[in-house]
Structure 1
Amino acid sequence: MKKISLILSLIFLSIGLLGCQQSGKEEELNKEISKSTQEITDKPTIIGEIVQIEGERFLVENKTEKLPDGRPDAVWFSTDEMESLKVGLIVSVWTNAIEDSYPQQANAKKIEINEY
C-alpha cells in the first residue's frame, strides 16, 4: 500500500512539474507575440530623405536633426514595397522596433511619401 501511495505521489508530482514548464513556455510565447503585434504610433519613427537603396532596404536620413556627435539621425528600413521608392524622396516611416546601431535598422511597418 505504501508503494502504491509513493508511486501515485511521484506521478502527480511529475504531472504538476510538467504543467508548470508548459505554462512558462506559453507565457514566453505570449510575450513574443505581444512584442511583434504592438500597434504603431501616430508619430512616425523618422521623417527624412531616402539617401540610399540596396535590394529590399532603404536608408532614410533626417536632415534637420543630428545626433549628439553631429551625425545625422539615420535608419535602414527593410520592406517588400520598394517599387515606389527612390533616392531623393522625402518619406515618413513607422516601425515598432529598432535595432541599436549606426545607422539603426528596422522593418518598415508604414511608409508615406511626403509632398515637396
Structure 2
Amino acid sequence: MPRWSSVGNFSQEIMKTTMHIKVDKDIKEKSAKIAHNLGLSLSTIVNASLRNFIKTETFSVSTGEQMTPYMESWLAEIEQDRKTGENFSGPFETTEELMVHLEK
C-alpha cells in the first residue's frame, strides 16, 4: 500500500518496490550490524546510498580512512616532537627502568 508524504501544501505518494540483488553473505551481515548500531535498517542505508548516487551521478570507492585536518596537524606535531626529542620518553632497556620513570 502506498504511503503519502506531505510538506506544507505539497503531498506526494511514496511508491515502494523491492530489489533483489546478490550480495556476499559476510558483507550483508557486517553492514546490517553497522546499520543496526547506528539505529538504522539496511534498507535505509541502501536507499540513502542510491539517493546520493542519483543526486551526484557519481560512484566512489575508498580503500582507506581519510585524514582529517585535525589528524594531519596532530601527526605534524608528533613528528616535530620526534625530531626535537620533546615529549618522548625512553627507550627503556628493562621493565624496571620503565617503572622507575613512570613513578617520577
TM band (smaller chain): under 0.3
Higher helix share: 2
Length-normalised TM-score, structure 2: 0.21
Q: Whose relative contact order is higher, 1 or 2, with alpha carbons under 8 Å and at least 6 apart?
A: 1
Higher strand share: 1
The structure having more radius of gyration, on CA atoms, is 2
